[in-house]
Amino acid sequence: MALLARRNLFHDRIRFAVTLTGIVFALVLIIIQFGLFLGFTTTTSNNIDHSNADLWIVFRGVGYFDTSRMFSERKYYEVLATPGVQQAEKYIQNFANWKKPDGGVENIQIIGFHPGSGLGEPWNIVQGDLMDVKQEDGVIVDELYKEKLGVAKLGDRVEIGDHRARVVGFTRGIRSFTTSPFVYTSFKNSLDYTRPEAKEDQLAYILVQATPGISATELKNNLKTRLSDVDIYTREEFSRRTRFYWMFTTGAGLAVLTAALMGLVVGIAVVAQTIYAATMDHIREYGTLKAMGATNGYLYRVIIEQAVWSAVLGYGLAMLIAHFVVQASEKGGAVILMPPSVAVGMLFLAVVMCIAAALVSINKVTRIDPAMVFRG
Amino acid sequence: MAHTNSSASIVIRTRGLSKVYGAGGTELRALSDVNLEIRSGQLTLLMGPSGSGKTTLLSILGCILRASSGNLELLGEEITALPESALPRLRRDLIGFVFQGFNLFPALSAVENVGLALDLRGATPKAARRRAEELLMEVGLKDRMHAFPTDLSGGQKQRVAIARALAGDPPIVLADEPTAALDSTSGRTVIELLQRLAHQHARAVVMVTHDPRVLSYGDRILHLEDGRLVHEELPGPGFPPSASFAAPAASHFSEIVSGEV
């Protein structure tokens, strides 16, 4: 049985190559489209997910990142005075103009945080020192946007909102899903860069860390009883709301989502067609087996084994190709993500798709037509 | 020459066997009221024009197709009422098939093709291979065991198919025009192998044929027309066929059919 399954698969090498090509194409398509979707989704909530904050406190009605609204820092002190709060930090996200050394202007998003607090800080710093943003004009940008922002190295000088700024660090892989790159600086500097919207005694978010032993939900409920005119979200809630907003209520998000779904549908169709054709190529042989007394179970096992071999080999090749595509995407504006869970999920999907497609075709064999086996 | 053996047991018996395809205006009656007894140790030829119901009858006897009405007994066991799930076991245990188009598995060598029939019956790979080699030697293919079907002649393929049909040591062998696609020498080899199966190994061999060259080998010739058995012949000494196979070219031919190889 195992011999027949393997031989049927490998005997006709051209047929086998066609089968594998179909499966690999389908899987790579699904991986890339889904990876783009994941990359886009993750990018929208990157700053939240890497904030290390248990809670995000926002002005009432602000349901997602990027639409911050300033409110009084009195709330910040009320938070600090709340039992269960281990640490709280002021945080700003606001749009500003970046004037490049050559005179051009780009829109950017200023992120103001408290350096050294561990909350809301940029991550993956590959050049420079995080604490240098404490300097009056220090900013950190991502190396992906060097060209866009007109900077090449540490120390390059620019202007942000008519204030001087100097690049003191580069991160790697912190993308913005909008056309405005993130520029990280100290909370104090960020107020200067975003005037007149920002005022000295205002902030856009309060990032809170709970005392060990107190859950985020518990602290959230506690803060709710003390604070008014604000909304309080756990990190996961705020991340989810932000992702939902960008993915399901904006054209860009829906386009990526639709592309991912189309990739899945086309991929499944290609695999189904490929495996179906490969199985139907041997339909007469399965008919002969059936005539010889093979049970349906025997036929199923042969065909499923073939399908699993096809799926596993196709998956291996697809992952190899996807690995290079994912690596290449890291240097581009749109990242393709393939976390281990997705890689494992793809194997499961490949096997299920191949088996399902094979079983559809085997259905014909179980209703055997005697003329098929008796006539040459 | 016809081979008669009054002590041979009846292995196939049909009573009022009918098969109707379709229904209503598109109804097609392929078999009508076929009553038949086939004994072990005989080579029975089933003849008739195209569309006379030969293949349908063979399919029903082989438990591949269900009759619309009537009864079928194989080795005394009533088959008609058995559930569909019981039929694969009957095909495995009681019947060996030989097809006109050989129906070998192109991805498997000759010995693997025969071994597959034993794998179906749960034999271990080692036992299946040993028995497959024995069977291929019996049909004169000792030197072609590892050849793939594409490298075998028509006659060799049919001999592999016969070896495969014998893998389960079935009491019944059903052959569908096994000599139709073969040249004279190969055709003779195959028909004599089938005859030997019947006469020396006491199997009931039923063979659908249009080939006049094989008539003299049959112990019985059943004629089917429009789905009905219309005539039976018992070839005897006064039954010279108008056509016959050429004399065997291969020197080992007689050895093969006499089982000395």
**Are the Cβ atoms of A292 and B92 closer than 8 angstroms?**
yes
Same domain (yes/no): A256, A207: no
Residues of B in contact with A296 (CB under 8 A): 88
CATH at B236: 3.40.50.300
User: Residue B9 domain-assigned?
Assistant: no
Q: Write down the pLDDT at residue A19.
A: 87
Residue B120's domain spans which residues? 39-66+82-258
The structure's pTM equals: 0.75
Nearest chain B Cα distance for residue A351, angstroms: 24
Residues of B in contact with A286 (CB under 8 A): none
Q: pLDDT tens for residues B155-169? A: 999 999 999 999 888
Q: Write down the pLDDT at residue A370.
A: 54
Residues of A in contact with B86 (CB under 8 A): none
Overall domain count for chain B:
1
Residue to test with chain A: of B28, B85, B105, most A Cβ within 10 A: B105
Q: pLDDT tens for residues A262-272? A: 988 988 888 88
In the sheet with B69-74, reading across from the earlier edge strand, the strands are B28-39, B10-21, B69-74, B77-78
Residues of A in contact with B51 (CB under 8 A): none
Across the interface, which of A291, A375, A376 has its CB nearest the CB of B97? Answer: A291
Q: pLDDT tens for residues B99-148? A: 888 999 999 999 999 999 999 888 899 999 999 999 999 898 999 999 99
B residues 97-116 closer than 8 Å to A (CB): 97, 99-103, 105-108, 112, 116
Q: Write down the pLDDT at residue B256.
A: 38
Amino acid at site B112: E
Same domain (yes/no): A65, A158: yes
Rounded Cα distance between B95 and A373, Å, is 15
B16 pLDDT above the threshold of 50 = yes
Two structure tokens written together for B87? 């039929």
Same domain (yes/no): A84, A200: yes
User: Residue B196 domain-assigned?
Assistant: yes
User: Residue A50 domain-assigned?
Assistant: no
Same domain (yes/no): A143, A265: no
B260 pLDDT above the threshold of 50 = no
Final residue of a structural domain among A197, A228, A259: A228
Q: Write down the pLDDT at residue A104.
A: 87
Q: Is residue A374 less than 8 Å (CB to CB) from chain B?
A: yes
Across the interface, which of A292, A370, A376 has its CB nearest the CB of B120? Answer: A292
Same domain (yes/no): A263, A354: yes
Same domain (yes/no): A191, A155: yes
Across the interface, which of B88, B106, B107 has its CB nearest the CB of A294? Answer: B88
Phi, psi (rounded to 5 degrees) for A117:
-80, -25
CA dihedral (A340, A341, A346, A351) in degrees, to 10, reads 110
Q: pLDDT tens for residues A85-133? A: 999 999 999 899 999 888 889 999 999 999 999 999 999 999 999 999 9
Whether residue B250 contacts residue B34, with contact meaning beta carbons closer than 8 Å, is answered with no
Task: Give the least confident one: A99-103, A198-202, A328-332, B229-233.
Answer: A198-202
Residues of A in contact with B97 (CB under 8 A): 291-292, 373
User: Residue A48 domain-assigned?
Assistant: no
User: Residue A109 domain-assigned?
Assistant: yes
Q: Is residue A283 less than 8 Å (CB to CB) from chain B?
A: no
Residues of B in contact with A292 (CB under 8 A): 91-92, 97, 117, 120, 164
Q: Write down the pLDDT at residue A362.
A: 74
Is A299 exposed, middle or buried (CB count within 10 Å of its CB: 0-12, 13-18, 19+)?
A: buried
Interface size A-B, in CB pairs within 8 Å, comes to 85
Q: Is residue B119 less than 8 Å (CB to CB) from chain A?
A: yes
| Residue of B42, B34, B30 whose CA lies nearest to B1 | B42
**Are the Cβ atoms of A376 and B99 closer than 8 angstroms?**
yes
**H/E element, A168:** strand A163-171
Rounded Cα distance between A43 and A173, Å, is 10
User: Residue A51 domain-assigned?
Assistant: no
Residues of A in contact with B89 (CB under 8 A): 293
Same domain (yes/no): A119, A214: yes
User: Residue A33 domain-assigned?
Assistant: yes
Residues of A in contact with B102 (CB under 8 A): 376
When pLDDT is averaged across residues A342-354 and rounded to a whole number, the result is: 92
Q: pLDDT tens for residues A279-314? A: 888 888 888 888 888 888 888 888 889 889 999 999
Overall domain count for chain A:
2
Same domain (yes/no): A89, A219: yes
Q: CB under 8 Å to A364, separation ≥6 — which residues?
A: A280, A283
Residues of B in contact with A375 (CB under 8 A): 55, 100-101, 176
A residues 297-356 closer than 8 Å to B (CB): 298
Same domain (yes/no): A215, A103: yes
B residues 68-97 closer than 8 Å to A (CB): 88-93, 95, 97
**Are the Cβ atoms of A291 and B102 closer than 8 angstroms?**
no
Q: Write down the pLDDT at residue A202.
A: 85
User: Residue A351 domain-assigned?
Assistant: yes
Q: Is residue B174 less than 8 Å (CB to CB) from chain A?
A: no
| Residue of A285, A347, A358, A282 whose CA lies nearest to A313 | A347
Whether residue A256 contacts residue A247, with contact meaning beta carbons closer than 8 Å, is answered with yes
Residues of B in contact with A7 (CB under 8 A): 105, 107-108, 112
Helices (H) and strands (E) in chain B, counts: 7, 10
Residue A274's domain spans which residues? 2-43+251-374
Grouping H, G, I as helix, E, B as strand and the rest as coil, residue A215 is coil
Whether residue B193 contacts residue B137, with contact meaning beta carbons closer than 8 Å, is answered with no
User: Residue B221 domain-assigned?
Assistant: yes
**pLDDT band (50, 70, 90) for residue B258:** very low
Find tokens 């097809």 and name the residue.
B99
Same domain (yes/no): A88, A119: yes
Residue to test with chain B: of A290, A295, A374, most B Cβ within 10 A: A374
User: Residue A245 domain-assigned?
Assistant: no
**Are the Cβ atoms of A376 and B102 closer than 8 angstroms?**
yes
User: What is the residue-averaged pLDDT of chain A?
Assistant: 89
User: Residue A262 domain-assigned?
Assistant: yes
Rounded Cα distance between B52 and B152, Å, is 32
Nearest chain B Cα distance for residue A332, angstroms: 47
Amino acid at site A128: G
Same domain (yes/no): A100, A198: yes
Q: Is residue A4 less than 8 Å (CB to CB) from chain B?
A: yes
Residue of B nearest to A368 (CA): B64
Rounded Cα distance between A294 and B105, Å, is 14
Q: Write down the pLDDT at residue B23.
A: 81
Residue of B nearest to A288 (CA): B103
ipTM comes to 0.83
Whether residue B235 contacts residue B219, with contact meaning beta carbons closer than 8 Å, is answered with yes
Q: Write down the pLDDT at residue B253.
A: 34
Residue to test with chain B: of A292, A299, A372, most B Cβ within 10 A: A292
Rounded Cα distance between A266 and A30, Å, is 8
